[in-house]
Structure 1
Amino acid sequence: LTKVFEAGKHRPRYQVESISETEGVTLAAFPEFFGEQPATAKVRVSYIADTTARTLAFASGQIDMIEGVRAPGWADTMKQRSAETQFDMTAPGSFNFLHLNLTRAPLDNIKVRQAIRYALDSAALASAYGPMAKPMVGIIASQFEGSVTREELPEELQYKPDPEKAKALLAEAGFAGGVTIPCYTSQREDYAAIMLMIQEQLRAVGITLDMQIIDHNTFHADNRNDKNSMPLNSSSYGPLPINVFLQQTSAAAVVKADGKGQGNFSHYGVAIPGVDDLITQAQDEPDFDKRTVIFKEIEKKLLTDLPILGVITLSYVIARNPRVDLGYPVQSGYAYWPLSKAKKTA
């Protein structure tokens, strides 16, 4: 490590040239970078928090690339403004899960959880986002090994959208007249849009979400203190299903009222028996194919108990003026990618 630092290999491609509250940050190529110099000598990064202002700045040609708005219809609106707009999208992007808190009535009733699952139409939710989203069956994205398809599941775990079946299950649970569940979500556009659509789908079967939309930071802080009955969680993962299961469903990751817990907001594995034994088996299994089989068994167990529901995957999106060439196609990965090869062609 010492030799790496002495050789200057820790030095970045760009250095900060200037910072302005109005103009943003200007980055200049760092002449002592050990590798190839970036294709563009200077890059300016502007801060435009308002999504409408950001979109208009892009449409007017003032800005070459912007972070996309992950809201229904946004991509179509951008195409209408400029048919040449390029969209760079990560796939699968963020995994959107709906946790059902097993310590709160009526979510401690399996029939209520089944009714929620039958009421949700993930394909309809995904279609609202166009190419940005794909529906989820379990909690692993369809692009990853270990995910399950509806067709390979037994009929009782397929949960094809069925509002009438959802109503019947609610009646069996003692809620023939409907039920109200208090919850809250973030005001950030992707969280709010998804939860508002879920709210409407559940309303159609007699489940009313008494939902507040609150500040994003407060949303996460309150979730960590176990205050939410149905938190929507949005997280990006690499192609390692074990990390999803560990962080979202293991007993060791259960949320705690003092804020010292982790991301298992359903209390699965604590409120009711969970999948910890299967997670351990998967961790101990060196054979890839055998481990994948165990992942699928975990997915089936989660679909049986329904402590957490996979909703949609949602790509991180950059809208790009076609005059900018990134130097490579964006196909997958995390939400950020290098601009070292990016250059204007016009």
Structure 2
Amino acid sequence: MRKGIGRREFLKGMGGAGAAAAMGWLRPGGAGAVPGVFRWASGSEARALDPARAITTGDSLARCWANGLLRFKPGSGDPSDFELDLAEKWDSSNGGKTFTFQLRKGVQAHHGAGELTSADVKWTFERLRDKRLTSIFAGRYTGIDGIETPDRYTVRFHLKEPDGLFLTKMMNFRGGYILSRGKAADDVATNYMWRPIGTGPFQVVATKPKEAYILERHEKYFRGTPKIRRYEYLIIADINTRILGLKRGELDAIYLATLPKRLLDSLKADPNINVDVPDSDYAASLHFNLRMKPMDDIRVRQAIAYAINRKEIVDLFAPMARPLYSVVSPSAVGGLKLEDIPAGLRYEHNPGKAKALLAEAGHKSGLRLETAVSPLPHIQRPIQVIQQHLAQVGIQLKVNVVEQTIYLRGSRQDKYPLVSYGGKRFPHAYDHLFEWYHSKSDVNLPTRQTNISHYGSLVGNVDKLIEEIGRISDTKRQIELAKQAQLQILKDLPAYPFYTPLVGFAHRKNVKFGFKFEDQTVYQYVLDERSEVL
């Protein structure tokens, strides 16, 4: 590393004993940019790189090494503006119950795994739904009745019933990434957890969980050999260390998360740096575990909602945050805006009403609750403010700060009566509603996704509305049904939506992506064969 950042500073920023090993990924004595090497730093580690099990970091990184049958246009997160990827054409028949894809010929997988064929596509989705894998995305594909491969380059999906959004499930997002079976150690490729085999412009060559993920260009990429030869994903916990590294040129791009205004302004003022803050469908909500007392009492849930002041949470991160009043962000297709929601379902800050509801529910002397939270600022800081709000109405909330992976795992294990949880999803109301609020998505079921409140099983149910949204292709009607579902959820209150963090990124101007970056679906910059570091 060059003099701009000392070894001690980076060790401190990367945190813990593992930082010394991670230092090996950084070039000793490096002076600024190295053409052909892209150095990205984030404070977030991946739970896995296997796209069947990866969320946030791992899922976003998959966009660089894997392909879907279809894809978002590079730089875009618009679900209506997709294009062909591994498929060269597709068609639908049998009243929307059959989808046939013709694959590109000659697509080579990573590490000598050979040509990608229809057998790999079939295996990818059968593996995803295999109960031994326990993929959290399996629920998105329960509508598949069967998959056949008439020949080496044709794959045909037979559905149980029409699915108006089936094509979105074939895109390069979450479960839609196609893997090659060529290097799989067994039927569910347990060896793909950290070394998956795809067909994208870059291939995974080394991983050190909690430290770094290293990708190198795929020389045989079907769209052409990438200009960037190496992608270094570095985990550097401290935002100030990341910013310093970017300004000094030791890093090419960084994850900003939701950044305080003073730091955002300092980056924008740097003539060598560009800052990107795309729109976001991130929906952060306080999820109530309906299996646990006192969360089974709607008066307690309403009291908590009225106790919280959204404005104070948003002010933590202004201008990189906005209040959220529905469980689906208005940035997603079908998400509700404030004016779409009746005043009585907005749960505006009202401590007096909160105290009255607690007293009515038999908790006049208050409550003691416990939760866990990730140390990531956009997750931890809001819950700390909520903790203060609840204390003002007599609710003592104990907050345990744990590692991100422990937080994610614990939120699905019925450990706490309430959990602050949110994230980006495919930017359509259906995906948000199905994953968080359909009864089949209950985290205790084999079809589990992220329904951590157990909504639909114990309290309320909007399953039929969600299912109808998925069946039809009429966008206007989908939006109408999504509104009905969201309003019902606000009435039942299995979760209290409170804010959307606008996740930011920054890069040095010597980085050229080859496309305009406006993607709201990822947590990092996505590179393709055109991207360059000059």
TM-score class normalised by the smaller sequence: 0.7 to 0.9
Moved more, 192-201 or 24-33: 24-33
What are the Cα deviations for residues 186-205 of structure 1, in whole angstroms up to 9, with x where unaligned? 23333212221221222223
- State the match for 1:267 in structure 2: 454
What amino acid sits opposite 1:294 in the alignment?
L
1:130-169 to 2 correspondences below 5 Å: 130-169=318-357
1:338 partnered with 2:527:
yes
1:166-315 to 2 correspondences below 5 Å: 166-256=354-444, 261-315=448-502
Query: What is the Cα deviation at residue 302 of structure 1?
Result: 0.8
C-alpha change, 1:162 and 1:98, in structure 2 (3 Å) is same
Tell me the TM-score normalized by structure 1. Answer: 0.84
- State the match for 1:96 in structure 2: 284
- State the match for 1:316 in structure 2: 503
Unpaired segments ≥5 residues, structure 2: 1-102, 109-113, 117-197
Distance in 1, matches of 2:303 and 2:207, equals 53
Distance in 1, matches of 2:302 and 2:533, equals 52
What are the Cα deviations for residues 253-309 of structure 1, in whole angstroms up to 9, with x where unaligned? 2232x9984421112112223212322333344432122111101111111110012
1:327 partnered with 2:514:
yes
Distance in 2, matches of 1:279 and 1:164, equals 35
What are the Cα deviations for residues 99-138 of structure 1, in whole angstroms up to 9, with x where unaligned? 1111222222211111221222334322322243222111
Kept after mapping to 1: 8 A contact 2:281/2:328? no
Q: Which has the higher contact order (CA 8 A, sep 6+)?
A: 1
Query: What is the Cα deviation at residue 229 of structure 1?
Result: 1.3
1:167 is paired with a residue of what secondary structure? helix
Moved more, 139-148 or 297-306: 139-148
Distance in 2, matches of 1:172 and 1:286, equals 45
- State the match for 1:110 in structure 2: 298
2:106 is paired with a residue of what secondary structure? helix
Query: What is the Cα deviation at residue 53 of structure 1?
Result: 3.0
Query: What is the Cα deviation at residue 213 of structure 1?
Result: 1.3
Distance in 1, matches of 2:314 and 2:355, equals 23
Distance in 1, matches of 2:519 and 2:492, equals 31
- State the match for 1:47 in structure 2: 234
**Root-mean-square deviation (CA), in Å?**
3.2
- State the match for 1:80 in structure 2: 266
What are the Cα deviations for residues 18-60 of structure 1, in whole angstroms up to 9, with x where unaligned? 9999x9777665554443554x444452524332432321232
Kept after mapping to 2: 8 A contact 1:69/1:317? yes
Report how many aligned residue pairs link the two structures: 340
Query: What is the Cα deviation at residue 328 of structure 1?
Result: 3.1
Kept after mapping to 2: 8 A contact 1:247/1:264? yes
| Structure 2 residue corresponding to 1:3, chosen from 101, 105, 110 | 105
What are the Cα deviations for residues 205-225 of structure 1, in whole angstroms up to 9, with x where unaligned? 322212211222222222222
1:33-72 to 2 correspondences below 5 Å: 33-38=221-226, 40-45=227-232, 47-51=234-238, 52-70=240-258
2:107 is paired with a residue of what secondary structure? helix
Distance in 2, matches of 1:273 and 1:177, equals 29
C-alpha change, 1:278 and 1:319, in structure 2 (3 Å) is same
Kept after mapping to 1: 8 A contact 2:281/2:332? no
Distance in 2, matches of 1:303 and 1:182, equals 23
1:234 is paired with a residue of what secondary structure? strand
C-alpha change, 1:93 and 1:141, in structure 2 (3 Å) is closer
Distance in 2, matches of 1:152 and 1:30, equals 48
Moved more, 319-328 or 177-186: 319-328
Kept after mapping to 2: 8 A contact 1:93/1:316? no
C-alpha change, 1:86 and 1:17, in structure 2 (3 Å) is same
Give identity over the alignment, percent. 25
Distance in 2, matches of 1:159 and 1:19, equals 45
2:379 is paired with a residue of what secondary structure? helix
Moved more, 320-329 or 8-17: 8-17
Distance in 2, matches of 1:192 and 1:19, equals 27
- State the match for 1:125 in structure 2: 313
What amino acid sits opposite 1:331 in the alignment?
E
2:234 is paired with a residue of what secondary structure? coil
Unpaired segments ≥5 residues, structure 1: none
